[in-house]
Amino acid sequence: MAILYEADYNQWVEETVKQLQNKNYAAVDWENLIEEVADLSGRERDKLESLLTVLFEHLLKIAYWES
């Protein structure tokens, strides 16, 4: 399944979920799954930072709109 990870990420996710649901642990692409789980917190932090930046930009525009 490691080749599928490189070729079609969305299909890899679907197949990985199926393998885990069916408890077919031998077929799970553990290396890439571990990497994805480890990267989750970084992606979430980046997303939060981006959303907060946009929020602050909008708040500044509102605060200084009349100026």
Over residues 2-25, the pLDDT tens digits come to 799 999 999 999 999 999 999 999
pLDDT band at 67 (very low <50, low <70, confident <90, very high): low
pLDDT at 8: 96
Record the tokens describing residue 47, joined without a space.
């997303």
Record the tokens describing residue 58, joined without a space.
């909008």
Say whether 29 sits in a helix, a strand or coil.
coil
Residue range of the domain that includes 38: 2-64
Domain count, the chain: 1
Report DSSP state, residue 27. G
- For 25-65, how does the pLDDT look when each residue is reduced to its tens digit (9 = 90+)? 999 999 999 999 999 999 999 999 999 999 999 999 999 98
pLDDT at 2: 78
CA gap 23, 3 in Å, rounded: 21
Among residues 67, 2, 50, 52, which one has the least CA distance to residue 15?
2
pTM above 0.75, yes or no: no
